[in-house]
């Protein structure tokens, strides 16, 4: 079996944005297939009964988190512009990604949505913004009941699989091992697992 990385993400998360700029090179270097799996971060937190992080952090922790994010972006050479209004609604954007089954098109659209949110300051909840990025009217897609169910099911499945946030990476190796990592700063672990290293516990 070929190694595979399942990348769980929501466009609303800046840490997942940073991960999105590296995940393809990590999978390619490790000879692994890559599955971009959109989920709803808010839905995942609700499924686990977890409060929205920004509502529970102290002002000092929020400030430090923002500084750490800026340092990581600078370290990785990624342009990142924190929107004045954050978090913004990404439900329709994530439905659009869920409806996009072609892997290459889903990756391309994910990058475009991340750029819009975290570099251009665009509101991805605005139908006009989504239509521009998608290149076609998006309302019929994002209002489709099957698409709504598919995103909801993917989010619930992520919770059942042990995920509690994004970005998360499920690594399945060619020898049948399976590992879950959370956080863009764990991508070196993903690289090492693909190279043959095995953590003491899965």
Q: What percent of the chain has pLDDT over 70?
A: 98
Predicted structure pTM score: 0.96
Whether 4 and 35 have beta carbons less than 8 Å apart is answered as yes
Please choose, from the candidates 200, 193, 155, 176, the residue with its C-alpha nearest in 3D space to the C-alpha of residue 8: 155
pLDDT of 56: 73
Does the pLDDT at position 55 exceed 60? yes
User: Domains of the chain (ranges plus CATH)?
Assistant: 4-194 (3.40.30.10)
The pLDDT-based confidence of 54 (bands split at 50, 70, 90) is low
């Amino acid at each position: 079996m070929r190694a595979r990385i399942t990348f769980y993400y929501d466009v609303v998360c800046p840490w997942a944005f940073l991960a999105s700029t590296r995940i393809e090179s990590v999978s390619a270097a490790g000879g692994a297939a890559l599955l971009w799996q959109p989920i709803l971060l808010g839905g995942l937190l609700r499924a686990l009964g977890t409060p929205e992080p920004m509502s529970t952090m102290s002002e000092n922790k929020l400030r430090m988190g923002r500084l750490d994010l800026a340092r990581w972006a600078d370290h990785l050479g990624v342009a990142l512009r924190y929107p004045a209004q954050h978090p913004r609604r990404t439900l329709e954007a994530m439905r659009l990604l869920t409806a996009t089954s072609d892997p290459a098109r889903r990756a391309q659209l994910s990058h475009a949505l991340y750029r819009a949110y975290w570099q251009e300051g665009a509101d991805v909840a605005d139908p006009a913004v989504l239509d521009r990025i998608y290149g076609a009217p998006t309302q019929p897609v994002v209002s489709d009941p099957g698409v709504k169910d598919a995103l909801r099911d993917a989010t619930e499945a992520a919770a059942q699989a042990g995920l509690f946030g994004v970005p998360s990476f499920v690594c399945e190796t060619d020898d049948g091992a399976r590992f879950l990592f959370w956080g863009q700063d764990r991508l070196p672990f993903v690289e090492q697992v693909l190279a043959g290293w095995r953590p003491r516990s899965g």
